[in-house]
Amino acid sequence: MKLPLAKQMRAAGDLVRDRVPVVDGFIDFLNKPLPRNVGWLQTLGSLLAFYIVLQTVTGILLAFYYSNSAETAFQSIGYIRGELRLGALLLALHRYGAGFIIMTAFLHFTRVYFSAAYRKPREFVWITGLLLGVLLTLFAFTGQLLPYDQHGY
């Protein structure tokens, strides 16, 4: 007789829980009830962190093929876009990810400001976040100049 899916999942969870003691604390963490005022807007910080990791990974991968001299930078971008396998996807993820970072950071700062989450005892976190926002904006600006194309000039 086959068990229903919910019981199968519980049985699989018990199997892992019996062998890995760390899982208990993680499951308790996941089952912890959230406050009533928590919604989707509170995920903007995590989304911003995901975009920063995405930018870091795609930036490192693009750095393998990018040439940073004024004479060959445009050609290296053409090589990445046209000849490198999945290069166009990698370049698009990096390019549009930069825009998503700026938009998400703005939305996150706006949410923090209007929910007054910058007040004591989190004022240092707010100032640090604003400084990181300025740094992200500077990174986005310098990234626009790197291809040495008409837009960069």
Over its length of 153 residues, how does the chain's per-residue pLDDT go in tens digits? 566 666 666 666 666 666 666 666 777 777 888 788 888 888 899 999 999 999 999 999 988 988 887 788 888 888 888 988 998 999 999 989 988 999 999 999 999 999 888 888 888 988 999 999 999 888 888 877 766 665 555
Please state the domain extents for the chain.
Answer: 1-32, 40-145
- pLDDT value at residue 43: 87
Kindly state the tokens that stand for 118: 């910058």
What burial letters (b/e) apply to 10-27, b meaning 16+ CB within 10 Å?
Answer: eeeeeeeeeeeeeeeeee
* DSSP secondary structure string for all residues of the chain: -PPPHHHHHHHHHHHHHHH-THHHHHHHHHTSPPPTT--GGGGHHHHHHHHHHHHHHHHHHHHTT---STTTHHHHHHHHHHTSTTHHHHHHHHHHHHHHHHHHHHHHHHHHHHTTTTSTTSHHHHHHHHHHHHHHHHHHHHHHHTT-STTT-
Q: What's the CATH architecture for 40-145?
A: Up-down Bundle (1.20)
